[in-house]
Structure 1
């Protein structure tokens, strides 16, 4: 099924209200009515103690299903396993056909599976909490087969509705079976040595513009933790207002035009890095365009442009640039520009742990993950908990080793001191 076979969504409009923009307001443009059940569902997620970013993330996933039902003029009561399969197929094609999409089969499967999981949970909630549907979802004798039950598992799992996140295939039987979560490419985490060597290799390129462009993109990923799409969407105008008189401030605020899930988050860019971006625009980029005889109109005001066309880089081209850079260093295929974001996460986690230890503050996984997720613009802090756990374990081992080394040093100094005292006593006795 090609993208031309899929009608563009036209009926469902999603906005947000509430003090923290965490209450969903969904409007059916054709029927001219609010879908109050979605508002109630967002309030339900809020009651379950999910933060506003996670709620927005989950409702955004659910909106794809609402669009699908609207296109096919289906009600919740008419949902069946075959309807879910059709939704899965259409969503897969939409992700693959999306403009500038660099999605692989596995990443697309993961994206669609995340939406399907939320659909299963929403249908369960509709039937067991709001009573808007009857006998639609159950383990047997229902059009949607599922053993999902949030009452199973720990109290925390019950509250968050996460007890069945992939733990039982019968909970979400219509998910794609292969999504790379239990295999696939290595999620490589870049190191300081990688950054240094990749920069050195870039500088060996014939084009000075390409070298400086690539190094700058790498540093933005390392120091601000921006994803590929966010970096590539930056415009020259966003850095035209820099003033050296403001350099006494710590950071320069930037909102990348393209962000995951359509967010418009503000990010703090260190002033020295922001000035480097402005300098690149006014020197290397300007010189490159002049030498090629290309106008600014060709660039569409984007900072990072192609060496061959002078047009904005494609997201996939950035993946290729850094995939090749890591390959030269002999790293696995999974090493790419996102590896710098993982490096940023690890560095920030280490800083947060040391800061909290120094001040005697809470060092639990969730507390640290929540703080780091906010600084990274990450929707779900749970995804950072494995990183935090790993860094905490390393730090505990490191502190233990340092303590052991200090103890050995003190013992050695004590032995040397005792020997020195013994020699002094012998000399004193002989002198008598």
Structure 2
């Protein structure tokens, strides 16, 4: 020991007891005396950290005081970092024998954070720093560990700040490991599911949830920058990437201006799920109601500029669940020619369901199931729409190929996804639909699909409740139809429906007959509205519905002859 000191060397006086400020000064003086006189090798240390309880006993305060008092905490941390190399365990090591075997407590399944002293081996006289390290029962979390070391050594982040970041990442990694989702399959949808679980558990405030998602986004940006992920997260302007114009990053970002602690501003790519630096958009997006969808259809129909094209784009999103990036991939060759209109009907006179293959987000080449009426209207649009034919005649000099894209810009090029988003933003605003866009029509599709499956379970007498195994079945089925890479990405949709339909005893209440019939009427009304501009096809469909098949086939032939005369 360099020097000795006892907490009783200085006694409390009446003056010292008079205020917390005086006691704080007294504790500071005692700590300074200890730090100057004690040999660090004689101070007990555990898990890479000098014992706070030992210091508290010497000073005469509680261990929590060393954490809550900024002066004491900073003084102790500075001393600790200075003397890390002298740190030794408080207990001497004994040789292994049968008498000193200790039964270890059972490990918890959750990850634990250890503070590990780390130095850079390649750098001479490199300072040793404490790195918070996440460890699971099957080993160290390498990605999180490397990220934490990067923050400690390459950024001006203290140990306590990095430890807080690792705690946030631990929540995400727990969720990720539980659902067995690889890093390359983490998408915005998966992050939304993660947000939904945090909200359902009620353990974190909205602000805290945003902070956690922001930390995860920064972590994944780092992984992308390191080459561990490839074009998974946007970290710079899109024109700086060698990627197709319609490429969508699985984890979206937006560039915002952030004001730092000392008033300095800088640009940063942040998650779109937290609304950047100002507000959170998660939970503000909503699915349009059936009435709003009908109103939107009227607005789109009433627009004279490429109205038929835009209505078809809307219906492809609404009735197939396709993303905008998938709709723009559609080619004329994906559907039968309108000259062969009979190819759209089966032997019984009913409309066929078509399968169209597109490149789907995170799934590669995958299938869209297209209702027959939508396929038929699309084929008629290709063959007869005056505005599309004008574009082909002008910009494309009248040349048409079977591999031409279906939806074209007015310049004859493939319609860009950003253009579609912008066009429909105006339609939604005109229709008075707030906090929604064309992408939410996919949500309408999946919501109806899940509602229908829940009704089927209830009608079959299957006892459904939030703890039964049917959830995975529904999610897998919906995942296949929607083109999602993992069922968990659709969990928020199912969660919202369950919360709305769960009774007080925890069971799932089936929709009433009236509600189901209303939903069916809404769907029929939407389809009818889609066919309203094609009265002859509507008449044919009516004949088919009445099982007057011969008359329907005759009408189809007459209609086909009339169309040929128009060409």
Aligned position for 1:204: 302
Determine helix, strand or coil for the equivalent of 2:362.
Answer: helix
Superposition pairs of residues 201-350 of structure 1, within 5 angstroms: 201-207=299-305, 210-240=306-336, 243-246=343-346, 248=350, 250-256=352-358, 258-261=359-362, 263-284=364-385, 287-289=389-391, 292=394, 294-295=396-397, 297=399, 301-306=404-409, 308-332=410-434, 334-350=435-451
Q: Distance in 2 between matches of 1:262 and 1:390?
A: 25
Bigger radius of gyration among the two: 2
Q: Distance in 1 between matches of 2:422 and 2:383?
A: 26
Normalising by structure 2, we get a TM-score of 0.41
Q: Distance in 2 between matches of 1:396 and 1:271?
A: 35
Q: Report the Cα offset of residue 368 of structure 1.
A: 2.4
Larger helix percent? 1
Q: Distance in 2 between matches of 1:134 and 1:331?
A: 42
Determine helix, strand or coil for the equivalent of 1:310.
Answer: coil
Q: Report the Cα offset of residue 158 of structure 1.
A: 5.0
1:117-142 Cα shifts (integer Å, max 9, x gaps): xxxx9x989x94799x9974557977
Q: Distance in 1 between matches of 2:144 and 2:502?
A: 53
1:101-132 Cα shifts (integer Å, max 9, x gaps): xxxxxxxxxxxxxxxxxxxx9x989x94799x
**Are residues 167 and 302 of structure 1, via their aligned partners in 2, closer, same or farther at CA, if it must alter by over 3 Å?**
same
Aligned position for 1:159: 178
Q: Distance in 2 between matches of 1:226 and 1:168?
A: 27
Determine helix, strand or coil for the equivalent of 1:268.
Answer: strand
Aligned position for 1:180: 272
Superposition pairs of residues 348-367 of structure 1, within 5 angstroms: 348-359=449-460, 360=462, 364=466, 365-367=471-473
- In the alignment, structure 1 segments of 5+ residues that lack a partner are 1-76, 79-120, 404-432
Aligned position for 2:487: 381
1:319–1:336 CA contact under 8 A, matched in 2: yes
Q: Distance in 1 between matches of 2:482 and 2:286?
A: 18
**Aligned to 1:190, which of 274, 285, 288?**
288
Q: Report the Cα offset of residue 196 of structure 1.
A: 1.8
**Are residues 250 and 321 of structure 1, via their aligned partners in 2, closer, same or farther at CA, if it must alter by over 3 Å?**
same
1:171-218 Cα shifts (integer Å, max 9, x gaps): 7765578423231383231222222222222332334xx111111111
Aligned position for 1:107: none
1:298–1:311 CA contact under 8 A, matched in 2: no
Q: Distance in 2 between matches of 1:251 and 1:401?
A: 27
**Are residues 202 and 138 of structure 1, via their aligned partners in 2, closer, same or farther at CA, if it must alter by over 3 Å?**
closer
**Are residues 190 and 273 of structure 1, via their aligned partners in 2, closer, same or farther at CA, if it must alter by over 3 Å?**
same
Q: Distance in 1 between matches of 2:389 and 2:290?
A: 30
Q: Distance in 2 between matches of 1:233 and 1:391?
A: 32
1:373–1:381 CA contact under 8 A, matched in 2: yes
**Are residues 358 and 142 of structure 1, via their aligned partners in 2, closer, same or farther at CA, if it must alter by over 3 Å?**
farther
**Are residues 324 and 298 of structure 1, via their aligned partners in 2, closer, same or farther at CA, if it must alter by over 3 Å?**
farther
Determine helix, strand or coil for the equivalent of 2:369.
Answer: strand
1:236–1:301 CA contact under 8 A, matched in 2: yes
Normalising by structure 1, we get a TM-score of 0.52
Aligned length: 277
Determine helix, strand or coil for the equivalent of 2:370.
Answer: strand
Aligned position for 1:40: none
Q: Distance in 1 between matches of 2:376 and 2:324?
A: 20
Q: Distance in 2 between matches of 1:173 and 1:330?
A: 36
1:148–1:170 CA contact under 8 A, matched in 2: no
Q: Report the Cα offset of residue 315 of structure 1.
A: 1.3
1:198–1:326 CA contact under 8 A, matched in 2: yes
Superposition pairs of residues 61-72 of structure 1, within 5 angstroms: none
**Are residues 281 and 348 of structure 1, via their aligned partners in 2, closer, same or farther at CA, if it must alter by over 3 Å?**
same
Q: Which moved more, 1:230-239 or 1:143-152?
A: 143-152
1:136–1:142 CA contact under 8 A, matched in 2: no
- In the alignment, structure 2 segments of 5+ residues that lack a partner are 1-120, 123-132, 156-161, 182-190, 196-210, 222-267, 275-279, 514-567
2:324–2:417 CA contact under 8 A, matched in 1: yes
**Are residues 320 and 379 of structure 1, via their aligned partners in 2, closer, same or farther at CA, if it must alter by over 3 Å?**
same
Aligned position for 1:82: none
